[in-house]
Structure 1
Amino acid sequence: MRAKGNQERYSVGDHLLQIAVVVGAIALVLGLGGSIYYGLAAHNIPINFSFLSQKSGLHLTEGLTLDWSDGLSLQSFTSNHTNLQALTLGIYNTLKVAFIGIVFSTLLGVLIGAGRVSQNWTLNRVSLAFVELIRNTPLLIQLFFWYFAVVLQLPALRDASVFYGAIASRQGIYMPGILAAPTWPYFWWAALFSVVVVVLVLAYTRDMGRRAWRWPAIGVLLLLWLLAMAMLGLPLRVDLPVASRFRASGGWAFSPEFSAILLALVVYTAAFIAEIVRGSIEAITQRQWMAAFALGLKRRQAMAYIILPQALRILVPPLVNQYLNLAKNTSLAIAIGFPDLFNIYGTIANQTGRSMEGILIVMVAYLLLNWLISLLMNIYNRRLLARGKR
């Protein structure tokens, strides 16, 4: 009974300490905010966000922005759009680089990490050299290398070669795109609705008593898609880029700046992810390898079915930090002129003189982006831990 009372007392003390820390942090933020507000007011510089509704006059050709003049839609940016829409375009470009970079850096990092623990001497040494070279070189220098020494050294568009429909030139990289067929005007909304329905079905049928309804419900959704395709035809079509003398049309176009920042972030982050993968794999005891070999599995099978699923529980928490670093490092794109959120903020601040308001918007945007990444990864991590307890 005494031990239980001590445990409850310590638990209450821990909660009180956490509450005190949160209250202190809020008080500190409010105090700093008040000091900044009154300091600016003393110099007749009130905080004002009315500049967001002013026309920007900017010419931005990379990315899309929200347009609500005739319904909510994503449109190309024009000089008549407001500063708020310019910042929205910057958020769009930042999200595009961050999420594409997370996907490809994870894939590359896992491959290199697997090479770090490979018994093939050549593959192991090459992976080690890659990790040591990339990790010990500043990201900004790597960004300049990819932009000036690689992307801008590609052939001109009229001399570029076509490789499986893709065109790589100094004017940009053009990839075959996937577009909705004209007979499917609301295909992407239907696809999003289907994904939401599948997620809800999987969440509702997690209990064993409801597990029998899972595949029939998904089967009904699949049947509806098949009936729609029988009536409207195939929903997607491939759009190949076509190059002319100075520009290309069709497909997916990526500017030289976007290609450079994406390459730099993917390669740089993959080097750190590779070390996380290596450490997670080596944290699994040799008994697991011995048990897999005793079952007659080859090394590759043991890695895929025994080691990696266990290493994944160790790998996810430090992986979140690398994803957050990648999202924040997108701000380095200002060095090569890519119109991300931080770059557009700087331009608007110079035009309007509203640096304080702009930096507050940028800070909140990056904070929400990092919270979103952390939330998704924490949900996935909890599912992994819950699966391991079964």
Structure 2
Amino acid sequence: MPIHMITMPKWGLSMEQGQVNGWLKAVGDKVGKGDEVLDVETDKISSGVECAFDGTLRRQIAKEGDTLPIGALLGVVADAETADGDIDAAVEAFQRDFVPPTAADGDAGPQPEKVQIGGRTVRYLKIGEGGIPAVLIHGFGGDLNNWLFNHADLAAHREVWALDLPGHGESGKAVETGSVDELAANVIAFLDDRGIERAHLVGHSMGSLVAMTVADRAPQRVASLALIAGAGLGEEINREYIDGFVAGNSRNTLKPHLTKLFADGSLVTRQLVEDIVKYKRLEGVDEALRKIAASAFEGGSQQRVYREKLKDLAPRTLVIWGSEDQIIPARHAEGLKGDIRVHVIEGKGHMVQMEAASEVNRLLNDFLGQ
């Protein structure tokens, strides 16, 4: 069996390094493809590093607390019979030849851009080429970075676009009514401006509601729908979370609500909280979020539900949910009519595309086609 190296992954376009929080597997443990072997924290989020090989964990090179660049050696997987000397030689050769990437290498890849559409600034990211494009639509209070673990995997097979909705991220903050129809109209305007005639729409949370509204209004533009922890499939929503997120403007007032987004609240890093605080303090954000929340979630209940129409909205539909979602209950994925693919991922929360990124990416790529 070959000697396989586990290296520091690159999650998102801005990641340069990661800190090792701890090993989840011990030396001598058998590991398989998809097993999480250690936990790494970036400036955005903590996540498990998955093994891409079957074998035995033979070396833990990185130690808890180490901060290492992308591509650095973390551990070694081989079969139990591989000689220690061969593994030592492979590690020595890797470390001798490894050169940490730098910004000067020009390896940053595609970066977000901004465009004026109908007098409004829209930030977006385009990555990948070919095929029917996939357009990623984030949820309430989010931005295109909510897809940082998904961009690259999805773009290996097709053109991928992600945008910041009005009132979010680095797009213009002004909204008129904040209605889902207004948000959907802005997505359609974005498709028009970028020359995207037809797309796979991938929505998370409120982004799913927006995607379904686009499909309802302009069905000819939608090749398929992929709805992740989707708003718009039932009435229940965590009112405490919505109200707390809208009202919060400091680390102490926001963090208790942000931890509800994940089954494992420890995944919420200090930097993630600080980024949200900075966003919440931008001019116009408070008014925009209040309008959007009042329109979509008035009285702590979802105001528009496509549950009965879902089977007719798009040629194909995929629904993905985390079983431990504390914002929108996973039971909304049950009993959907029509030929709809449904996958509930056990032990994961509302941000399932981050907590179980590899599994979600596999499901999306399988659904969208290679």
Q: Which has the higher contact order (CA 8 A, sep 6+)?
A: 1
Structure of larger gyration radius: 1
Length-normalised TM-score, structure 1? 0.20
Q: Which has the higher strand share?
A: 2
Give TM-score scaled by structure 2 length: 0.20
> Which structure features the higher share of helix residues?
1
